[in-house]
């Protein structure tokens, strides 16, 4: 790859890493300070999603910068790159779906209040599921490791799965068993992303419908009123809707362009575009997730205005 393509890839990766790391570290910091019993599950999901984004950017995009700088990658780097790409991408989709389902259920209880008091002793179950998602993600991604290698170390079979960037095209995955390639490499690894995205798309319609029902009831004068918890759920659902469409749009665009990578490999702008598409959700989502909870918003304002607050507190007129 020529110098212009490598330079553009390094610049884009650097910008992506900076924006994503700042947003996700700030999200983790604010989320950790706002943990409470009532919002522990939602905050744990947001915390997990931010960690996944940091993992992807600090491993995958950093390796892209190393390769674009002409240093080159070895076999271990290729295995780490391929595994982390699959692992972090799947977890990001799963945790986003979990957040959407969680707030969809909360909104449903607001619009259609249950006749009986709902059980509040489900936190341990949610925490177990969150931990299980980390384990399952590792289990479904780990089989790709023995089949990943560098281009010159693989045999002449051209049926392989390329990584997410043309910069790292020398790291390729070849399934020596045809059935393994079809059922795991081309069906299973795609299905674990596509099926949650499809469910997420359907959940977005459910959330939009419930928001419409709530607005209609409110405008009709039949709604008793919103407490602080209901307002927070409504605000969260309005934030989740653009998150859903963002992750679906980024994933589909990246998948389509990667499928036709062989036809576009000669264009120098393809690696930066693929980097933006694969990392775009990790850049945008933390700043939107900060708007879900009013406590996080207050902490964020205090964090941004700490110097100003300290100056005001020293004034004799306070």
pLDDT at 167: 47
- Mark the ranges of the chain whose per-residue pLDDT is less than 50: 154-168, 221-224, 307, 309-318
Cα–Cα distance, 63 to 71 (Å, whole number): 10
CA distances from 67 to 60, 171, 237, 258, 290 (A): 11, 11, 40, 19, 33
Question: How far apart are the two ends of the chain, measured CA to CA in Å?
Answer: 62
Backbone region of residue 70 per phi and psi (left: phi > 0; alpha: psi in -120 to 50; beta: other values):
left
Backbone region of residue 72 per phi and psi (left: phi > 0; alpha: psi in -120 to 50; beta: other values):
left
pLDDT at 318: 32
Cα–Cα distance, 241 to 200 (Å, whole number): 10
Instruction: Using only the alpha carbons of the chain, give its radius of gyration.
Output: 22
What b/e string do you get for 214-251 counting C-beta neighbours within 10 Å, with b at 16 or more? beeeeeeeeeeeeeeebebbbbbbebbbebbebbbebb
Spell out the residues 6+ positions from residue 251 whose beta carbon is closer than 8 angstroms to its own: 89, 93, 193, 197, 281
Predicted confidence (pLDDT) per residue in 149-181, tens digit: 776 554 444 433 333 344 445 677 888 788 888
Domain boundaries of the chain, sorted by first residue:
3-114+128-301
> Whose CA is closest to 38, among 134, 129, 122?
122
Q: Identify the burial level of 255 via C-beta atoms within 10 angstroms of its C-beta, where 0-12 means exposed, 13-18 middle and 19 or more buried.
A: middle
pLDDT at 30: 82
Residue 93 CA, distance from chain mean position: 6
Its pTM stands at 0.85
Cα-Cα-Cα-Cα dihedral of 37, 39, 41, 47, to 10°? -110
CATH architecture of 3-114+128-301: Up-down Bundle (1.20)
Quick one: which H or E segment has residue 172?
Answer: strand 171-174
pLDDT at 279: 93
C-beta contacts of 243-246 below 8 A and 24+ residues apart: 243/96, 243/99, 243/100, 243/285, 243/288, 243/289, 244/96, 244/100, 244/200, 244/201, 244/203, 244/204, 245/204, 246/280, 246/281, 246/284, 246/285
pLDDT at 280: 93
pLDDT at 155: 45
Helix (H, G, I), strand (E, B) or coil at 39: coil
What b/e string do you get for 139-149 counting C-beta neighbours within 10 Å, with b at 16 or more? ebbebbeebbb
Question: SS3 string of 67-97?
Answer: HHCCCCCCHHHHHHHHHHHHHHHHHHHHHHH
pLDDT at 24: 94
pLDDT at 35: 65
CB 247 within 8 A of CB 93: yes
> Whose CA is closest to 151, among 138, 134, 141, 166?
166
pLDDT at 148: 82
pLDDT at 264: 64
């Amino acid at each position: 790859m020529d110098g212009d393509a490598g330079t553009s890839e390094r610049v884009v990766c650097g910008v992506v890493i900076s924006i994503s790391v700042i947003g996700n570290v700030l999200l983790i910091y604010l989320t950790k300070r706002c943990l409470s019993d009532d919002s522990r599950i939602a905050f744990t999901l947001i915390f997990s999603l931010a960690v996944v984004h940091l993992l992807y950017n600090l491993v995958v995009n950093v390796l892209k910068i190393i390769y674009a700088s002409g240093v080159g990658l070895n076999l271990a780097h290729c295995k780490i790159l391929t595994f982390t790409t699959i692992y972090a991408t799947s977890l990001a989709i799963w945790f986003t779906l979990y957040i959407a389902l969680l707030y969809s259920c909360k909104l449903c209880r607001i619009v259609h209040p249950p006749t009986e008091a709902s059980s509040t002793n489900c936190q341990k179950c949610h925490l177990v599921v969150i931990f299980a998602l980390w384990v399952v993600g590792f289990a479904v991604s780990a089989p790709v490791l023995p089949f990943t290698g560098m281009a010159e170390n693989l045999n002449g079979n051209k049926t392989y799965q390329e990584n997410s960037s043309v910069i790292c095209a020398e790291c390729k995955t070849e399934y020596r068993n045809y059935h393994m390639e079809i059922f795991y490499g081309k069906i299973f690894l795609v299905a674990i992303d596509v099926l949650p995205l499809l469910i997420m798309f359907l959940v977005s319609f459910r959330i939009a419908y419930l928001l419409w029902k709530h607005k209609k009831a409110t405008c009709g004068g039949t709604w008793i009123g919103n407490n602080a918890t209901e307002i927070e759920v409504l605000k969260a659902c309005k934030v989740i809707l653009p998150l859903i469409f963002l992750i679906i749009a980024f994933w589909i665009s990246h998948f389509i362009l990667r499928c036709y990578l062989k036809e576009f490999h000669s264009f120098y702008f393809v690696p930066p575009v693929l980097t933006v598409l694969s990392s775009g959700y990790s850049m945008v989502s933390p700043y939107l997730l900060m708007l879900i909870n009013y406590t996080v918003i207050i902490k964020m304002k205090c964090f941004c205005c700490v110097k100003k607050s300290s100056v005001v507190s020293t004034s004799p007129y306070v």
